Structure 1
């Protein structure tokens, strides 16, 4: 999509994401059983059999948000009790959409993947993201070079770049629900774009298979 075509939709994109940000505080997330909207396990020095580096969607709170990330982690932790999750700290602003994925955030995600490889050499590494965060997955993978071969799998939700491979990653899974305008490349937020918590179990099953569990 050309930038000229994208600009009229930016206000809609931001306003449409007001709902998830409204329910993504740590307290409210716990009330809904979603877990915290911030995860810093890797930065806290932890390693596990699986390390997930996750980027949230535009305007979501914390560094993993609430729509797709926490439900996914909860489902995966049932299969991987020592799961380590690290959110990508980036602005997740509408301006990042103009860049087709926040540039600084993309670089930060690549940096975190490299950190996971160095810090946790025996861990299976999974790159994951939702909406603009899915863009970061694609962008970061292109910055990894040979390190991408160390990434076991990628999982993206509501992925604007769904038709593109995640460079260098063998096991890839994209969740794009019927009626999700973002997955069609329109950047129009429809109700379907906010339903990826329902794919948490399927995403966890995919990762478990990819890592050999």
Structure 2
């Protein structure tokens, strides 16, 4: 599925500020993780590579990135100590969303997958524009690198319904909330697009079922 022009895009920050407190996901303490870029990080059994949504802070954002990290740490064999986490460091701006996902960020995500140690199972994940990056990154990977991917989870995916390819579709799950227009082909952010933190547990269990 592709978002069609004209784009009617409501920025996350001001829109979120206007929502009732009950609809907002509490800010997590860890909005940035760079385990793969940290030379002191040893190869771990699992590696999460996550791309945040448009205008989110850090490289994990706040909506679903940190809750997903927490959920995976609870359900993966070996717990949090068995999981390396790397957010994609890309601008996450509206211009990138408008072209179907930031191009440099997509290349960087593919490069991160290729660089993961051979012994680690890769979990690829993205929210909103970050899900666009997941699609783009997989399409750019050679098959040998794509074979490292053990699970894919996407939230509020603007390309919902489009095949991932490279054998990834059989290992993928997309979360598209009722009332979320972004994953239904319309570039309009409503409250339903901002509540994917509640899906972290289900996403973690899906991943654990594939890699555990």
TM-score interval w.r.t. the shorter chain?
Answer: 0.7 to 0.9
Number of equivalences: 196
**1:142 to 1:93, Cα distance in 2 relative to 1, 3 A:** same
- Trace 1:82-161 onto structure 2 (pairs within 5 A): 82-116=82-116, 120-146=117-143, 147-161=145-159
TM-score of the pair, normalised by structure 1? 0.86
Distance between the aligned counterparts of 2:5 and 2:162, measured in 1?
Answer: 22
Question: 1:52-63, aligned counterparts within 5 Å?
Answer: 52-63=48-59
* Structural mapping, 1:1-213, within 5 Å: 4-6=5-7, 9-10=8-9, 12=10, 14=11, 16-18=12-14, 32=26, 34-45=28-39, 46=41, 47-79=43-75, 80-81=79-80, 82-116=82-116, 120-146=117-143, 147-168=145-166, 169=168, 170-211=170-211, 213=212
Distance change (3 Å), C-alpha of 1:166 and 1:17: farther
Contact 1:35 1:74 in 2 (8 A): no
DSSP 3-state at the match of 1:156: strand
Q: Distance in 2 between matches of 1:21 and 1:141?
A: 34
CA distance in 2, matches of 1:18, 1:49: 39
TM-score (norm 2): 0.86
Query: Quick one: distance in 2 between partners of 1:108 and 1:202?
Result: 27
Structure with the larger RCO, 1 or 2 (CA within 8 Å, 6+ apart):
2
Q: Give the CA deviation at 1:52.
A: 0.6
Q: What RMSD in Å do the two structures reach over aligned CA positions?
A: 1.9
Unaligned runs of 5+ in 1: 23-28
